[in-house]
Amino acid sequence: MSGLPGEFDLIARLTAGLRPTRRVILGPGDDCAILAPGRKRQLITIDSMVEGVHFKLKWGSPGALGARALAVNLSDIAAMGGYPTACVVNLALRRSLPMETVDGLYKGLRASARSAGVDIAGGNITSAAQLAITIAMLGELRGAALRRDAARAGDVIYVTGTFGDAAAGWRILDGKLKAGGLNRKFLAARFLRPAARLQAGQALARMRPAPAAIDVSDGLLQDLGHILERSGVGAEIDPDAIPISPAYRSVMRGELALALTGGEDYELLFCIRPGNSERELTARLGVAVRRVGRIVRGRPEISLVGTRKQRLPIRTGFDQLR
Amino acid sequence: MSGLPGEFDLIARLTAGLRPTRRVILGPGDDCAILAPGRKRQLITIDSMVEGVHFKLKWGSPGALGARALAVNLSDIAAMGGYPTACVVNLALRRSLPMETVDGLYKGLRASARSAGVDIAGGNITSAAQLAITIAMLGELRGAALRRDAARAGDVIYVTGTFGDAAAGWRILDGKLKAGGLNRKFLAARFLRPAARLQAGQALARMRPAPAAIDVSDGLLQDLGHILERSGVGAEIDPDAIPISPAYRSVMRGELALALTGGEDYELLFCIRPGNSERELTARLGVAVRRVGRIVRGRPEISLVGTRKQRLPIRTGFDQLR
């Protein structure tokens, strides 16, 4: 016996006291939620986090897990340059899950949604062998969209933040990489508490022409590969230009593999016409921006340049299905 | 090894050749899909089907499973009186799943979406221990909404179609109930191939005042209970008035439990001011409609009347989490 109440009671309990914005005409508790008509182009995405595949419960608090499930969806909205509006949440619960875990998870989800201005418009609960949180997120475009197919030869490739932290943090949490003290704390937090780059994406969407962009969830090279495929171009990347954190540098001792191919960073990678400096872009986006390479004519391939010359087929990053 | 290609390849393969309507500005393949602005109030719902919880693969074809995953979401749109527009699909795939199963599933999903006029705007794929299909469905309201909180004392309670077939079919497929020949075929098909009552819901939404309605996924009594709770009323139901099919009658030999509490029928239950005949409503809704009881003042309880008098607490139906 699970100690879990029935689905209807549980949804009522988890969504009690939600304070929806005016865009929600009817919230959780009916067959569908009703949203007010939007005048903007709408964004929609769906993403899922599965226990044992994407996380282990013992790695962090249930609240952080709920917040992370929302953040990975917000990151997709950020990568389009959009503004998140509302979401619906499907929880798959295993019978052995303590009720406090479910409550904590939803509490984190609700707090994150509130701080991102996102309405939790509805939900569904099912039983399953693994805990899984699947969120469909709506957003709106107020200007241009940041599309994967917009990269052009000559564009400069930039990234926000630092790379490899989350992948290192995952391995530390999973006992496969050793780190202590502040390094451990920082890298684990980068995995457990990713921040979607919403403001950065929105700032990029105000630039003309609108950059191509993607959020880096599978690894820098793999996600850049998606842009190359959709845009029909190649890229040159200087591995030594990829921004890494002091904690990553210390723990990985200069090994760049995770920075190049580790996933879960939820930073933005974007391609933009030349003529912007790192400093200007950093000020505009509100987050550190670094130039890592450029888009070139040719097949969708990535050439590593600088001191680590190598030509790579795309899709070399993290792929959970392999 | 699964034989499954990576997520990006797989989504590209499954969504190749989709012919989106004009409402889809950008379909699968980017961080989000982009939809044209809608002028109507929007509906959104999410539902999930999990292997071993809601179905077993050996019970039917992968294509029927894909169609069913869509139908249970369409049924939520139907229960609001809405028109489905677009959906996003999350597939959780286990490694041992043959690629033909995934292809077949998506083929059924696509065919159903096309015939319902629904765009598959995007998707996500993850690995998991169980196959699960989670769909978030968007729709629009062109008139009133059919809400659970709109039932008033004096309303007559009607249902579409017949009840208990899907629950009997489930038990037959699972080897827990014996049936042969056409009875088996009919009841199994009622479980495997539910039809969302979209036209019936849309016709109800054109009536004034708009009826209260719900789709019966958890069982007639339990889902009626949701209307009673949300509306703050009670109900009288005559079990002998509940429409059952000849196959159900033959296999269940007059036992009404599954018709009252078995789920998965995806018929509509609605509550409407007196003054409509079954015949008028059947003509208007395009599906057989039967009167099964009435809404009364008082606490949200269901009184069974007629030859089977009994007072029931609500939530007596199927509840997969118990």
Q: Which residues of B touch A30 (CB under 8 A)?
A: 80, 147-149, 230
Mean pLDDT, chain B, rounded, equals 93
Confidence of residue B152 (pLDDT cuts 50, 70, 90): very high
B149:A30 CB<8 A: yes
- Give me the residues of B, 241-260, that contact A with CB < 8 A: none
Closest residue in B to A133 (Cα–Cα) = B134
Q: Is A156 found in the same domain as A235?
A: yes
User: Which of A17-23's residues contact partners 24+ apart within 8 Å by CB, and which partners?
Assistant: A18/A110, A18/A119, A18/A120, A19/A114, A20/A119, A20/A121, A21/A117, A21/A119, A23/A85, A23/A86, A23/A119
Nearest to B53 among A45, A126, A226 (CB): A126
Tell me if chain B has a CB within 8 Å of the CB of A313. no
Two tokens at A23?
Answer: 């865009």
Domain match, B106 and B191 both: no
What pLDDT was estimated at residue A3?
Answer: 43
Model-level pTM? 0.94
**Subunit contact A122:B46, Cβ cutoff 8 A:** yes
Pairing between β-strand A83-93 and β-strand A132-140 as defined by DSSP bridges: antiparallel
- Phi/psi region, residue A196 (left: phi>0; alpha: psi -120 to 50; beta: rest), is beta
Run means of pLDDT, 10 residues per run, chain A, 322 residues:
60 87 94 95 98 96 98 98 98 95 96 96 95 98 97 98 98 96 97 97 97 96 95 96 97 93 96 97 98 96 86 51 36
pLDDT at B138: 98
Q: Looking at the structure, do residues B277 and B223 belong to the same domain, yes or no?
A: yes
Write the ipTM. 0.93
Q: Burial level of A272, CB count in 10 A (0-12/13-18/19+)? A: buried
Residues of chain B with C-beta less than 8 angstroms from the C-beta of A300:
none
CB B223 within 8 A of CB B214: yes
User: A159 and A189 share a domain?
Assistant: yes
Task: Examine the domain organization and report whether B34 and B11 are in the same domain.
Answer: yes
Q: Is residue B18 part of a domain?
A: yes
B chain contacts of residue A121, beta-carbon cutoff 8 Å: 44
Question: Do A92 and B50 lie within an 8 Å CB cutoff?
Answer: yes
Last residue within a domain, chosen from B115, B140, B165: B140
Contacts (Cβ under 8 Å, ≥6 apart) of B37: A37, A38, A39, A40, A41, A42
The DSSP letter of residue A130 is: S
Q: How far is A88 from chain B (nearest CA, A)?
A: 6
Per-residue pLDDT at B314:
57
Question: What is the pLDDT at residue A19?
Answer: 87
Query: Which pLDDT belongs to residue A9?
Result: 79
Mapped onto helix, strand or coil, the DSSP state of residue A84 is strand
Chain B residues with CB under 8 Å of A315 CB are 6, 8
Residue B46's nearest CA partner among A136, A291, A249, A237 is A136
> Does residue A319 lie in a domain region?
no
What value does the mean pLDDT take over residues B119-127?
A: 95
Would you call A44 and B33 a contact, using CB atoms and an 8 Å cutoff?
yes
Q: How far, rounded to the nearest angstrom, does the alpha carbon of residue A298 sit from its chain's CA centroid?
A: 29
Q: Which helix (H) or strand (E) holds B84?
A: strand B83-93
Query: Which whole-number Å values give the CA distances from B82 to B23, B46, B196, in the listed order?
Result: 17, 15, 12
- A82–B32 CB contact, under 8 Å: yes
B290-312 tens-digit pLDDT: 999 999 999 999 999 988 777 76
Domain end (from A116, A140, A164): A140
Same domain, A128 and A152: no
For residues B115 and B162, membership in a common domain is answered with: no
Contact of A216 with A263, CB cutoff 8 Å = yes
Interchain pair B32, A123: CB under 8 A: no
Reported confidence tier of residue B16, pLDDT bands at 50, 70, 90: confident
Q: Which two tokens stand for residue B106?
A: 């998506």
Provide the CATH number for the domain around residue B218.
3.90.650.10
* Rounded-to-integer distance, Cα B101 and Cα B89, Å: 16
- What angle do helix axes A99-116 and A7-15 make, rounded to 10 degrees? 40
Instruction: Give the residue with greater pLDDT, A317 vs B7.
Output: B7
In a domain, B59, yes or no: yes
- The CA distances from residue B305 to B234, B238, B243, B248, B254, in Å, are 13, 5, 16, 22, 17
Give the single-character DSSP code of B193. Answer: S
* Cβ contact, residue pair A42, B37, below 8 Å: yes
- Please indicate whether, in this complex, the C-beta atoms of A29 and B230 are within 8 angstroms of each other: yes
Across the A:B interface, residue pairs with CB atoms under 8 Å apart total 226
Residue A115 within a domain? yes
What 8-state DSSP symbol labels residue A150?
A: G
Q: Does any domain span residue A1? A: no
User: For residue B200, which of B107, B282, B134 has the smallest C-alpha distance?
Assistant: B282
Residues A89 and A171 in one domain: no
* CA–CA dist B232, B42 (Å, integer): 26
Binary contact (B42, A43; C-beta < 8 A): no
Give the distance from CA B293 to its chain's centroid: 22
If pLDDT is split at 50, 70 and 90, which confidence band does B258 have? very high
What's the rounded mean pLDDT across residues B36-59?
96
Which residues of B fall within a CB distance of 8 Å from A48?
90, 92, 124, 126, 134
Q: Tell me the CA end-to-end span of chain A in Å, nearest whole number.
A: 35
What are B253's two structure tokens? Answer: 């030999």
Structure tokens at A117: 């201005």
Domain harbouring A53, CATH code: 3.30.1330.10
The pairing of strands A212-216 and A119-127 is: unpaired
**Under a CB-based contact definition with an 8 Å cutoff, are residues A82 and A140 in contact?**
yes
* Range 251-310 of B in CB contact (< 8 A) with A: none
Which residues 30-89 in chain B show a CB within 8 A of chain A? 30-48, 50, 52-54, 75-77, 79-80, 82, 86, 88-89
Interface mutation target, options B25, B30, B53, chain A, most CBs of A under 10 Å: B30
Tokens 């059919």 belong to B146
Distance from CA of B307 to the nearest CA of A (A): 30
Q: How many independent structural domains does chain B possess?
A: 2
Q: Are A46 and B129 inside 8 Å of each other by CB?
A: no
Per the structure, the complete domain to which residue A46 belongs is given by 7-140
Residue A120 lies in a domain: yes
Gap between the Cα atoms of A32 and B44, Å rounded: 5
Which run of H or E residues covers position A213? strand A212-216
DSSP state of A149: G
The CA distance from B30 to the nearest CA of chain A, in Å, is 6
Give the C-alpha separation, B221 to A190, whole Å: 48
Same domain, A130 and A155: no
- Mention every residue, 6+ apart, whose C-beta is less than 8 A from residue B29: A148, A230, B11, B12, B15
Write down the pLDDT at residue A12: 84
Classify residue B89 by burial, with Cβ atoms within 10 Å: 0-12, 13-18, 19+: buried
Decide which of B140, B162, B197 is a domain's last residue. Answer: B140
pLDDT tens digits, one per residue of B186-227: 999 999 999 999 999 999 999 999 999 999 999 999 999 999
The C-alpha angle A171, A160, A117, rounded to 5 degrees, equals: 90
Lowest mean pLDDT among A200-204, B62-66, B112-116, B303-307: B303-307
Q: Which of B26, B39, B128 sits opposite A37 (nearest CB)?
A: B39
**Exposure letters B259-275 (e unless 16+ CB within 10 A, then b):** bbbbbbbbbbbbbbeee
| pLDDT confidence of residue A320 | 40
pLDDT surpassing 70 at residue B4? no
- Determine, yes or no, domain membership for A321: no
Same domain flag for B135 and B158 = no
Give the per-residue pLDDT at B321: 37
* CA distance readout (Å), B149 to A95, A218, B225: 31, 44, 11
Is 90 exceeded by the pLDDT of residue B9?
no
- Report the SS3 class of residue B122: strand
Q: Are residues A165 and A135 in the same domain?
A: no
Q: Which residue has the higher pLDDT, A57 or B4?
A: A57
Q: How far is CA A31 from the centre of its chain?
A: 29
Inside any domain, residue A202: yes
Same domain, B160 and B305: yes
